[in-house]
Structure 1
Amino acid sequence: MIEVYIDGASKGNPGPSGAGVFIKGIPQPVQLSMPLGIMSNHEAECRSLLIALQYCLEHNFKVVSFRTDSQLVERALEKQYVKNKNFLPLLEEAFRLVEQFDLFFIKWIPSSQNKVADELARRAILQNEQR
């Protein structure tokens, strides 16, 4: 099964933000570091999920297990609910993408187990600042 580690980060809240995605369980692991512009940390976490979902679908990865250190993202997908209505369009987009997988799991993990995705997200913040 393909394992997808995601993380979003912001320097300030809101501030310059980035998404990190690390995919393993494939012959050549993938590392994505995407600058996101100015947004909140929670929005960056949600955006990292969408980026990873889209990447997996574009590459025909249909059986995936996602890992995140964001309880907001994990709970929103598991309970299909967000308190902050600003995140509702992001959650709806995530559900639309998740429906296209044959098998999709998401699991919360501690930050200590998500270091690669975290580093990729932090690297993306710097890419914002270099623009």
Structure 2
Amino acid sequence: MYLFEVWNQLGFSDVYSDVVTSVGRHALEKKRKNLVESLFACYLEGWREVCFSSERLPSLVQRWEPPPLGMFKLNFDGASFGNPGPAGVGGLCRNGEGVVQWAFFGPIGVCDASEAEVKAVFYSIKKISDDCLDKVIIEGDSLNVIRWLKGGVAPPWRFLPFIDEIHEIISGSSAVLKHVRRVANEKADLLAKRGVNSDSLQWFDYLPPISHVLFC
């Protein structure tokens, strides 16, 4: 799309007109040559900005990694089969050796995916004890939710009660918020999907079976 716009701006329509009305082939070939050189220069400049910009987008974690020893990592996720549709939440907390400290899943009625994500992190953070807040890394695969929690983007008004309470819980702590790819959030994703069809919110001090979760 970018090159097409440049092509038009640099006189594509004029070149086309020249093809029909030109009385001199030499003038047309010269204009074509200048046009191609200009397009190529714009192409290189665009790639130069992408490759050497000081404001590159941060690379996302490709797989789950344990936190440093002495710390905990909380992964959360929400699922909605229909968006809006039957929805569930899930999450788990692991230590620096990757051992599950607790996990949960459960249904939350009918809602969209964003609401499911917000409620998932809400339940997860409320579970963390005060003495662990300075030792926890919170990861989710919803970029919007992480941005809302960090305060860089205003959340929709309907989520404000949840976001405000989360801010009250983690304010003054050293809790770290991170956006990750779904592959690095896989277990939380499966727990949330299992939660959709469960009867109630359930908590465990181990990772419950999730390999048989049905994807809808």
Fold in common (TM above 0.5): yes
What does residue 61 of structure 1 align with? 132
How far apart are 1:57 and its partner, in Å? 2.4
What does residue 79 of structure 1 align with? 151
What does residue 184 of structure 2 align with? 113
1:70 aligns with 2:142: yes
| 1:1-131 alignment runs, 5 A limit | 1-25=71-95, 29=100, 30-57=102-129, 60-62=131-133, 63-79=135-151, 81-99=153-171, 102-127=173-198
User: 1 or 2 for the larger relative contact order (CA 8 Å, sep ≥6)?
Assistant: 1
For normalisation by structure 2, the TM-score amounts to 0.54
What are structure 2's unaligned runs of at least 5 residues?
A: 1-70, 200-216
The amino acid across from 1:20 in the alignment is G
Higher Rg of the two aligned structures: 2
Q: Deviations over 1:42-72 (max 9, x none)?
A: 01100011111111127x4222100000011
What are structure 1's unaligned runs of at least 5 residues?
A: none
How far apart are 1:125 and its partner, in Å? 0.5
Q: CA RMSD in A?
A: 2.0
How far apart are 1:80 and its partner, in Å? 5.0
Q: Deviations over 1:66-94 (max 9, x none)?
A: 00000111101112542422122221111
Identity among equivalent pairs (%)? 27
Higher strand share: 1
Q: Across the two proteins, how many residue pairs are aligned to each other?
A: 127
The amino acid across from 1:68 in the alignment is G
Give the 4+ runs in structure 1 shifted more than 4 A. Answer: none
